[in-house]
């Protein structure tokens, strides 16, 4: 009986000695769980449907930019440039009734949603909602599939690399780390600081990857100016 009691006392003593370690281990385990849950919320995978829509929009934008880059100086990119050779030839000789039809009016762009200012390259551009062919003829276009301007996430703005120096994103390659980009919206100004400039393949959609913590602005254009083979990317974060 005494021996059994001794074992009980020894066991109880061990429990008392180990209790602080056990409590610490339990708190560490709880802490790890809380951190894991928070990290999943911050860095969880984005909605697959939204990601697919962004990728599709980026592919269309890339094709649009490619047509513009292949156009001769002073020419507007032809709609036939996006068609296969056989499809283009089939449209070369339209029926007589189609030839006499009045031309379609050019759509009037909607009002600008923001003004993009980059003092270093003396740039001030209206930003239209949608990186469409019509919008990008005269302004920069915000990709509607990306984050709204001025909000947490990754907002992408695209513009052509015009041949005329200083027009549209022609001088975007002069930007570097630390340069500022200002986006003015109605009653709101967001100042971004460039942290990265780089070239990517036209098919690289990773530049549109979102952020759960920062307000990121991604500017997209062609590189080089003539016969572009890549996309020039400038990324900045809100101060």
pLDDT over 90 (residue 237): yes
Q: How far is it, in rounded angstroms, from Cα 57 to Cα 80?
A: 20
Query: Which residues does 169 contact at the CB level (< 8 Å), separation at least 6?
Result: 123, 140, 159, 160, 161, 162, 219, 221, 232
pTM for the complete prediction?
0.63
Give me the DSSP letters along 33-59.
Answer: HHHHHHHHHHHPPPPHHHHHHHHHHHH
Digit-coded pLDDT (tens) for 154-176: 999 999 887 888 888 999 999 99
Domain boundaries, the chain: 48-71+109-238
The partner residues of 233 in beta bridges, in order of sequence, read: 198, 220
Q: Are 117 and 130 in contact (CB under 8 A)?
A: no
Q: Are 133 and 64 in contact (CB under 8 A)?
A: yes
DSSP annotation of 214 reads S
pLDDT over 80 (residue 89): no
pLDDT over 60 (residue 215): yes
pLDDT over 90 (residue 225): no
Domain 48-71+109-238 indexed as CATH 2.40.260.10: yes
Bond preceding residue 224 cis, omega within 30 of 0: yes
Secondary structure, 3-state, 142-206: ECCCCCCCCCCEEEEEECCECCCCCCECCCHHHCCCCCEEEEEECCEEEEEEEEEEEEECCCCHH
Digit-coded pLDDT (tens) for 176-214: 999 999 999 988 999 999 999 999 998 898 999 888 899
């Amino acid at each position: 009986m005494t021996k059994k009691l001794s074992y009980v006392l020894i066991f109880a003593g061990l429990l008392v000695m180990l209790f602080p370690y056990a409590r610490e281990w339990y708190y560490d385990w709880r802490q790890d769980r809380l951190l894991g849950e928070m990290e999943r919320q911050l860095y969880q995978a984005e909605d697959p449907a939204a990601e697919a829509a962004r990728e599709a929009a980026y592919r269309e934008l890339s094709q649009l930019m490619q047509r513009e880059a292949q156009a001769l100086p002073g020419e507007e990119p032809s709609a036939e440039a996006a068609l296969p050779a056989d499809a283009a030839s089939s449209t070369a000789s339209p029926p007589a009734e189609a030839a006499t039809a009045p031309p379609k009016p050019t759509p009037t762009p909607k009002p600008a949603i923001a003004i993009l200012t980059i003092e270093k390259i003396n740039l001030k551009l209206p930003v239209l909602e949608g990186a469409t062919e019509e919008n990008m003829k005269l302004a920069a276009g915000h990709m509607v599939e990306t984050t709204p301007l001025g909000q947490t996430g990754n907002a992408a703005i695209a513009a052509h690399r015009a041949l005329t120096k200083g027009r549209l994103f022609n001088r975007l390659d002069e930007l570097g780390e630390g340069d500022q980009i200002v986006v003015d919206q109605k009653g709101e100004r967001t100042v971004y600081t460039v942290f990265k400039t780089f070239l990517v393949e036209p098919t690289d959609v990773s530049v549109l990857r979102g952020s759960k913590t920062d307000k990121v602005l991604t500017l997209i254009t062609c590189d080089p100016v003539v016969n572009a083979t890549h996309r020039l990317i400038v990324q900045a974060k809100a101060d």
